[in-house]
Amino acid sequence: MDIKLQQVSYAYAQGTPFEKRALFDIDFEIPSHTYQAIIGHTGSGKSTILQHFNALLKPTSGEVHIGDRIVVAGKKAKDLKAVRQKVGIVFQFPEHQLFEETVLKDIMFGPMNFGVSEKEAEARARELVGLVSLPEDVLEKSPFDLSGGQMRRVAIAGVLAMEPEVIVLDEPTAGLDPRGQKEIMDMFYKLHQERGLTTILVTHSMEDAARYADNIVIMHEGKNVLRGTPQDIFKDVETLKNLRLEPPRIVRFQQKIEKMINTPFSKICLTEEELATEIARVLREERAES
């Protein structure tokens, strides 16, 4: 399912002295089955943007296309349930949304709201606890007895249980330990590939964006300032610096090596594996020359 933003602007508390513009003429498209990262500092408008992806917020001007639904500024949008089932959002600190007596019931809450039968919802819940690497016996526990990391996984399972076509992640790993972070990001990536999802990752981690995303959008003070593949974006160190952003560690490492041996590499490497292969190639070539 494609998502397209056309000239989208948004202002909080419009028409009062507290009015605050959060988005200015945002224009971009997220094609189906791609992995899109949205990067920006706090206050850059990235959390405001993500609420447009399933019509939790309506633009104050412009249009949002969600699949074949079009949300237009100033028009009443009815029956948004279908949209919300197709676009699942994992909010920041999603563990704050848990409320049921048992983990099982909480995971079933989403799908049952969208008219999935109890039996089917329970089957999905049982399958998903494994997927988010939790032991099956947590299903009968109260979500409030779990650890923070486990609660996070339950909340994520609750969103996945709706079987959305598009999944929007808002800093899904904030506050987790490094191992948990990697596990969760890898799980999302696996799901993205296996189920052909469209994934939108809102983050300030350049590392995650470099590792997983097909495309990156950089937000700065409510404007979309840069757009492109990770290679394009991280090539231009100067522009990033002006936006007070740093390329991922791996790219900075590559740049240091390039400076040290005085040979630019043929491409920008986004993972350790890629960089290792590239270094080996360059070294081999140098040896052949000498």
Partner 1 sequence: MMEKMIFGRFLPGDSPVHKLDPRSKLIFVFAFIIIVFLANNTVTYALLLAFTLLVVLVSRIRLYFLINGLKPVLFLMAFTFLLHIFMTREGAVVFEWKFITIYEEGLRQGIFISIRFLVLVFMTSILTLTTSPISITDGIEVLLNPLKAVKVPVHELALMMSISLRFIPTLMDETDKIMKAQMARGSDLSSGPIKDRIKAVVPLLVPLFVSAFKRAEDLATAMEVRGYRGGEGRTRYRKLKWDMSDTFALVLLGAMAVLLFFYRS
Binding site for partner 1 (CB under 8 A): 12-13, 16-18, 51, 54, 56, 81, 84-85, 88-89, 91, 94, 96-99, 109-110, 113-114, 144, 158-159, 162
Q: CB of 256: closest distance to partner 1 in angstroms?
A: 41
Where do runs of H (alpha helix) occur along 87-244? 103-113, 118-131, 148-160, 178-194, 206-212, 230-235, 237-242
CA pair distance 3, 53, nearest whole angstrom: 7
Instruction: Work out the number of other CB atoms within 10 angstroms of the CB of residue 262.
Output: 6
Smallest separation, CB 227 to partner 1 (Å): 26
In this structure, the number of other CB atoms found within 10 A of the CB of residue 157 comes to 24
In sequence order, what DSSP letters do the residues of 80-97 get, joined into one string?
-HHHHHHEEEE-SSGGGG
Nearer to partner 1, 9 or 97 (CB): 97
Minimum gap (Å) between residue 58 Cβ and partner 1? 13
SS3 label, residue 17: coil
3-state secondary structure of 38: strand
CB of 56 to partner 1, least distance (A): 5
Burial class (CB in 10 A: 0-12, 13-18, 19+), 286: exposed
Residue closer to partner 1 (CB basis): 167 or 250? 167
Shorter beta-carbon distance to partner 1: residue 104 or 245: 104
CB of 154 to partner 1, least distance (A): 13
Neighbours of 114 (CB within 10 A): 16
Which C-beta is closer to partner 1: that of 143 or that of 247? Answer: 143
Cβ atoms 177, 149 nearer than 8 A: yes
To which H or E segment does residue 3 belong?
strand 3-12
Nearer to partner 1 by C-beta: 162 or 216? 162
Contact 32, 1 (CB under 8 A): yes
Give the length of the chain. 290
Smallest gap from residue 57 Cβ to partner 1 (A): 9
Query: Between 98 and 268, whose beta carbon lies closer to partner 1?
Result: 98
Give yes or no for a contact between 122 and 104, defined as CB atoms under 8 angstroms apart.
yes
Quote the least distance from Cβ 35 to partner 1, whole Å.
Answer: 20
Phi, psi (rounded to 5 degrees) for 27: -135, 105
Residue type, 7: Q
Residue 96 CB, nearest approach to partner 1 (Å) = 6
Pick the closer one to partner 1 by CB: 112 or 237.
Answer: 112
Rank residues 56 and 279 by Cβ distance to partner 1 and give the closer one: 56
